[in-house]
Every structure is written in structure tokens, then in C-alpha cells.
């Protein structure tokens, strides 16, 4: 059986790295179902969080069409529409529920979750960075990190790269996928409450039901 996830994201980094991250988390959770992450629906953050909910509603509809196509061909499978954007300076406890409410207003028939990376996607990487020493010329060992959700994760990664190779810089999409492959997920869950919420959302997806004889065609 398969669990399908359609994600709404704001940046190219998430578009290229989120699938790998979700697959790694899924493996850690030891779920028996296969996880399939569909192509991300992407829009500007300012549009997705706008109070009128128009851009978010349109993104939800695009994601719903994707999910519907796969679910019709795979009865009995589970699905999740995941809104994954950066909290930046906004309060996740206020912005998250507002986005879920707007998304539910667009499509009440879907299971929708919103996880806001605090402050940004890169903070999740930094939260699990103990295994990144030497990856793409990061220093080895890396310096200690404290309060990883309060820092600018992208700037921290850039600083570490430049400490070894002064002319280098953090290239979001190119570097993020490699860091996601090597980051310590257990450590990230311990260091980042927002990353822990992402893991809990995946963990809470209901188990897929086995097909009945009529559904399976036997």
C-alpha cells in the first residue's frame, strides 16, 4: 500500500529537498507502507500567507487534483496535503492554524496539515548537523550549536562553508539536498520542536487498509 503526500512550499530548496527529507523520516518511523511524495506546488510565501487566502486556495486545489488522480488508481491508500513554509518572523502558533483553516475552506474533503519551519528549512538541517562535518567542505568537527530555532540557519551554514573555503557560499538547493541526506534525524527531533512536529504529523497518518477482494480484482 502507498501513502501519498502532496506538499505546498514556498521555495526552490524545499521543492528539491523536501521529498528526500520526508522519505528519510518515513524510513525512521518504520512504516510498512511505501511513501510517494508528489511534485510540490510552489508559490511565493507572501502570497501563500496572505489573509485573503486566494493563492493558498489555488495551491490547495492544484495539490488536490494531484492527489485525486493517484487515489482513484490506488483505492484504500492514505493521503496528506502538507503545507510546509518558513515561519520566518511570524508566530507559528498563530500562522499555522490560520493557514489550515484557509486550506480547509478550499477543500474540506482532504486531510491537511501545516508545519512551519522555525525560522526556515535550513534550521532543520542545522538541528541535525552533528553528522555533516566534512560534507561539501563543511568544517569537521562543526562548532557547537545552541538554540538552533532562533538562529538564521542559512547564514550559519554559509558561515561554516566560508570558514573552510572563504570564496565559497551556501547554495540553497544544491547544498540542501546533500545535507538532508546526511543530517542526524534523531538529533534534529531533539533540537527542533518544529521538526519534531513534522515527524509527528507523518507518524499520525492512519495506516492504509488492505484491499477487499472486490477492490483487488481477485
104: number of CA atoms within 13 Å, CB side? Answer: 10
pLDDT in tens, 142-175: 999 989 999 999 999 999 999 999 999 999 989 9
Q: Does one domain contain both 17 and 79?
A: yes
Based on the domain organization, do 113 and 126 belong to the same domain?
A: no
Residues 127 and 100 both lie in one domain: no
Q: Please tell me whether residues 112 and 206 are part of one structural domain.
A: yes
Residue 208: which pLDDT band, with cuts at 50, 70 and 90? confident
Residue 210 pLDDT grade (very low, low, confident, very high; cuts 50, 70, 90): low
30 and 132 housed in the same domain: no
pTM: 0.93
Shared domain for 71 and 178, answered yes or no, is no
Query: Tell me, what's the pLDDT at 209?
Result: 61
Say whether both 35 and 95 belong to one domain: yes
pLDDT beyond 70 at 212: no
pLDDT given for residue 207 in this prediction: 84
The domain that contains 44 carries what CATH number? 3.40.50
Judgement on whether residues 101 and 159 belong to the same structural domain of the protein: no
Domain count, the chain: 2
Confidence of residue 217 (pLDDT cuts 50, 70, 90): very low
Pair (27, 95) in one structural domain: yes
**Could you give phi then psi for residue 79, rounded to 5 degrees?**
-145, 160
In this structure, the answer to whether residues 62 and 105 fall within a common structural domain is yes
Domain that includes residue 173, residue range: 121-188
pLDDT digits (tens, 9 = 90+) for 49-103: 999 999 999 999 999 999 999 999 999 899 999 999 999 989 999 999 999 999 9
Judgement on whether residues 155 and 90 belong to the same structural domain of the protein: no
Same domain, 2 and 98: yes
Amino acid at each position: 500500500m502507498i501513502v501519498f503526500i502532496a506538499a505546498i512550499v514556498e521555495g526552490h530548496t524545499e521543492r528539491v529537498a523536501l521529498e528526500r527529507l520526508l522519505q528519510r523520516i518515513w524510513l525512521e518511523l518504520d512504516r510498512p507502507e511505501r511513501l510517494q511524495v508528489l511534485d510540490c506546488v510552489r508559490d511565493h510565501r507572501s502570497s501563500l500567507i496572505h489573509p485573503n487566502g486566494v493563492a493558498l486556495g489555488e495551491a490547495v486545489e492544484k495539490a488536490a487534483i494531484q492527489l485525486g488522480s493517484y487515489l482513484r488508481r490506488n483505492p484504500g491508500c492514505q493521503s496528506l496535503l502538507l503545507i510546509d513554509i518558513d515561519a520566518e518572523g511570524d508566530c507559528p502558533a498563530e500562522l499555522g492554524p490560520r493557514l489550515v483553516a484557509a486550506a480547509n475552506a478550499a477543500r474540506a474533503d482532504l486531510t491537511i496539515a501545516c508545519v512551519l519551519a522555525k525560522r526556515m528549512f535550513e534550521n532543520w538541517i542545522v538541528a541535525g548537523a552533528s553528522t555533516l562535518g566534512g560534507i561539501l567542505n563543511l568544517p569537521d568537527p562543526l562548532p557547537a550549536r545552541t538554540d538552533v530555532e532562533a538562529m538564521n540557519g542559512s547564514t550559519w551554514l554559509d558561515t561554516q562553508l566560508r570558514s573552510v573555503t572563504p570564496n565559497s557560499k551556501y547554495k540553497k538547493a544544491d547544498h540542501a539536498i546533500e545535507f538532508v541526506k546526511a543530517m542526524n534525524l534523531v538529533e534534529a527531533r531533539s533540537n527542533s520542536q518544529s521538526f519534531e512536529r513534522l515527524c509527528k504529523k507523518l507518524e499520525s497518518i492512519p495506516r492504509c487498509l488492505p484491499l477487499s477482494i472486490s477492490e483487488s480484482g481477485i
